[in-house]
Amino acid sequence: KCSREGSDDACMAHVEELIKKDRSDATLLGIESLLLLTDQDRSACPITAAEAVLGINGHSAIKDFIHKCIHCPRSALSPEVNYFDYASRQCETMHNTALAVLGNSLQTASDAECPRLVRSLLQSSEWMGQSGIVDVLLSELSHAEDRSHDAYHAVRCFNALLDSSSKMKRTLIDRGLGNMLKDSQLVGRRRHSLLAQECDAALALLTDV
C-alpha cells in the first residue's frame, strides 16, 4: 500500500511485477490495483500512479500495459457464446478497467493543477495519431448503445482532455467529438445516467471555445 512517505515508487514497482506475470489472475490484480491507486478519494499516491499510467515518471511498463488493454480487440463471438468464453470475458474486463484507470489518471492530473501533464498528450502520436488512444475513445462513443459503461469512461477521459487547453479542444472538435457526444448523451439519458452527466459536462466545455 502507498501509506508511508517514500513508498510510492515501491508501490508502482509492485504493480509492474504483477502486470508482467504470465498469469491472468496476476494481471487482473495489477490493473485493479491501478484502479484503486489512481482514485483520488481512496489512494494515498494518486498523482504518482496517474503519472505512471500517463508515462510521465519513467514507469513505461505501466503505460504500455494500459495502452495494450485499451487496444485489446473486441471479440467477434456472439454475446451468448462470449459469456462462456473465458479469454473474451477477461479481455472485456481488462479493457473496461483500463478505460477507468485512464479516466482516473487524467482527472487526477487535471485536479492536481498539473494541466501540463494532460496538455503534453497533444504532442503524443500514441494518443493523437492514427489508431491512437483518442481514436479508441471516439470508437467507444460510437458504440455507446451496446457498451454504455465503456463509453462513460471514455467521456470521463475526454472531459479531462477538453479542460486541458484550447488547442486540445479545437483538435477534438475537428475529430468529430461534438456529434458523438450528443449521440452518447441521448443513450445516457435512456439507460446510463452517469454517461449522460459526463456528456453534459463535456458538451458544456465545447461551447466555451
Segment 86-91 mean pLDDT:
78
Q: Residue 20 — pLDDT band, cuts 50, 70, 90?
A: very high
pLDDT at 170: 95
pLDDT above 70 covers a percentage of the chain that reads 87
pLDDT at 83: 53
- Give the angle 169-172-174 at the CA atoms, nearest 5°: 110
pLDDT at 1: 43
User: Higher model confidence: residue 58 or residue 77?
Assistant: 58
| pLDDT tens, residue by residue, 144-159 | 999 999 999 999 999 9
SS (H, E, C) the chain: CCCCCCCHHHHHHHHHHHHHCCCHHHHHHHHHHHHHHCCCCCCCCHHHHHHHHHCCCCCHHHHHHHHHHHCCCCCCCCHHHHHCCHHHHHHHHHHHHHHHHHHHHHHHHHHCCCHHHHHHHHHCHHHHCCCCHHHHHHHHHHCCCCCHHHHHHHHHHHHHHHCCCHHHHHHHHHCCHHHHHHHHHHHHHHHCHHHHHHHHHHHHHHCCC
On the question of pLDDT at 175 being above 90, the answer is yes
83 class by beta-carbon count within 10 Å (0-12 exposed, 13-18 middle, 19+ buried): exposed
On the question of pLDDT at 7 being above 90, the answer is no
pLDDT at 4: 46
Segment 47-67 mean pLDDT:
87
Cα–Cα distance for residue pair 195/7, rounded to 1 Å: 35
Cα–Cα distance for residue pair 45/36, rounded to 1 Å: 10
Cell numbers describing residue 153: 469512461
178 class by beta-carbon count within 10 Å (0-12 exposed, 13-18 middle, 19+ buried): middle
On the question of pLDDT at 81 being above 70, the answer is no
155 class by beta-carbon count within 10 Å (0-12 exposed, 13-18 middle, 19+ buried): buried
On the question of pLDDT at 162 being above 80, the answer is yes
Segment 5-24 mean pLDDT:
85
User: Higher model confidence: residue 114 or residue 167?
Assistant: 167
Q: Give CA 134 to chain center in angstroms.
A: 10
On the question of pLDDT at 79 being above 70, the answer is no
Segment 73-94 mean pLDDT:
64
On the question of pLDDT at 73 being above 70, the answer is no
Segment 23-28 mean pLDDT:
91
On the question of pLDDT at 54 being above 50, the answer is yes
